[in-house]
Amino acid sequence: MNPASDGSRDELDPLERQVVDFFVDGVRVLGLPRSIGEIYGLLFISRSPLALDDLVCRLDISKGSASQGLRMLKSLGAVREANGNGNGERRTYFEPAVELKRLVGGFIREQIRPHLDSGKSRIRHLAETANAVDDPEQRKFLGERVERLEQWMRSSGRVLPILQKLLGQ
Amino acid sequence: MNPASDGSRDELDPLERQVVDFFVDGVRVLGLPRSIGEIYGLLFISRSPLALDDLVCRLDISKGSASQGLRMLKSLGAVREANGNGNGERRTYFEPAVELKRLVGGFIREQIRPHLDSGKSRIRHLAETANAVDDPEQRKFLGERVERLEQWMRSSGRVLPILQKLLGQ
DNA sequence: TTGATTGTTCATTTTGTATTGAACAATCAG
DNA sequence: CTGATTGTTCAATACAAAATGAACAATCAA
């Protein structure tokens, strides 16, 4: 059972701590909040699925953080509900998705694509503004820059699916 | 000349504003500070190189921000000193690097590689800890997870150079 | 229905990081 | 040398984003 008498604050053992810290660092690079790394990390190193309350106790985070963190991880496709334990249990348990392809795919879909798309529309607007400039020299220069941005966008758009494919194995 | 009477607060015109905002948004996705996007954006849309003081006035940011921002952009290979204007000028002017390949290369070198490397060494440490676990079942599970992390690292290491090459054009 | 359990929402608080700005080089002219 | 110009550093501050936690659903049992 839980070694803590009050049921909360069931601390991580050193190995779990290492793994959680590894993921905390990992998600920071991706610009995601620390709690996301903590939650995914603990799920990753746990042999059986965990429920929200487990995360709250083991990681010593609030229910709010755990709830929001799980929601984001679900939207990223990084965790899924475990279907195995249906013996009269009401709460839902989660397990991690461990295929890199899936993780990268979710990140691209949720975090990269939307920005790329909004970027493209901003550039379209920019192109119009640049075209309305009077001075021909200046207009030419701006046209070149806008064209450069469009190049960047095309390259990025081409590269993402390849990235995803390459990370599949 | 400068339309502002006191020499400071030389505001951006609407097109410059659009471009700067575009890059501010862009660098946020990359987890870089806003000022980096502002500085690079203004350089990107300026026909001639700008000095530190120009950035301070036009963007209305502090000298400290401009100095640190330029340093980071230099380390990323995203700006370079303009050599053209050596007519008795003491201050240094900067121009943007506009080749996507170079920008991505710098970002990978400065921001991604270091994390990948530290990640690899963390995993090595993790593997030792996992191997010291008594319970054979548990040790086997941990070994699988560690192996998974090593897979991820290998995939990432393989993909970065390809990414760089593909973005070259 | 009431009470117990599980999970969500969101206004407030906390925390981490970027920005500021004043003090400090460094370099040059006269 | 002094004074002017350009740029850097870093402790203090401001700000944005994350975490909290209490109030609020939602679901089920008895």
Q: What is the pLDDT of residues B52-71, one digit of tens each?
A: 999 999 999 999 999 999 99
In angstroms, the CA of B93 and the C1' of C30 are apart by 26
Q: What is the DSSP string of B82-136?
A: --S--SS--S-EEEE---HHHHHHHHIIIIIHHHHHHHHHHHHHHHHHHHT-S-H
Per-residue confidence (pLDDT) for residue B13, from 0 to 100: 94
Q: What percentage of chain A carries pLDDT values higher than 70?
A: 91
Q: Which tens digits make up the pLDDT trace of A31-85?
A: 999 999 999 999 999 999 999 999 999 999 999 999 999 999 999 999 999 976 5
- CB-facing half-sphere around the CA of A15: CA atoms within 13 A: 19
Q: Is B129 in contact with A18 (Cβ distance < 8 A)?
A: yes
Q: Contacts of residue B31 in chain A, CB cutoff 8 Å? A: 28-31
Residue B165 in 3-state DSSP? helix
Q: Are A14 and A45 in contact (CB under 8 A)?
A: no
Q: Is B133 in contact with A159 (Cβ distance < 8 A)?
A: no
At A169, the pLDDT band (50, 70, 90 cuts) reads low
Q: Is A166 in contact with B148 (Cβ distance < 8 A)?
A: no
Average pLDDT over residues A20-31: 96
SS (H, E, C) chain A: CCCCCCCCCCCCCHHHHHHHHHHHHHHHHCCCCHHHHHHHHHHHCCCCCEEHHHHHHHHCCCHHHHHHHHHHHHHCCCEEECCCCCCCCCCCEEEECCCHHHHHHHHHHHHHHHHHHHHHHHHHHHHHHHHCCCCHHHHHHHHHHHHHHHHHHHHHHHHHHHHHHHHCC
Q: How many CB atoms lie within 10 A of CB B158?
A: 11
Per-residue confidence (pLDDT) for residue B79, from 0 to 100: 98
Q: Contacts of residue B15 in chain A, CB cutoff 8 Å? A: 126, 129-130, 133, 142
Q: Which tens digits make up the pLDDT trace of B7-27?
A: 456 789 999 999 999 999 999
Q: Which tens digits make up the pLDDT trace of B71-119?
A: 999 999 999 999 765 556 789 999 999 999 999 999 999 999 999 999 9
Chain B contact for A169 (CB, 8 A cutoff): yes
Chain B contact for A18 (CB, 8 A cutoff): yes
Residue of A nearest to B17 (CA): A126
Per-residue confidence (pLDDT) for residue B4, from 0 to 100: 40
Per-residue confidence (pLDDT) for residue A6, from 0 to 100: 45
Q: Is B163 in contact with A167 (Cβ distance < 8 A)?
A: no
Report the range of poorest mean pLDDT among A44-53, A146-155, A159-168. A159-168
- What is the value of pTM for the model shown? 0.93
Per-residue confidence (pLDDT) for residue A7, from 0 to 100: 46
Per-residue confidence (pLDDT) for residue A95, from 0 to 100: 98
Per-residue confidence (pLDDT) for residue B52, from 0 to 100: 98
pLDDT at A3 over 60: no
- Token pair recorded at residue B38: 């502002």
Q: Contacts of residue A29 in chain B, CB cutoff 8 Å? A: 31, 111-112, 115
CA distance readout (Å), B169 to A149, A153, A162, B72, B102: 13, 11, 14, 25, 11
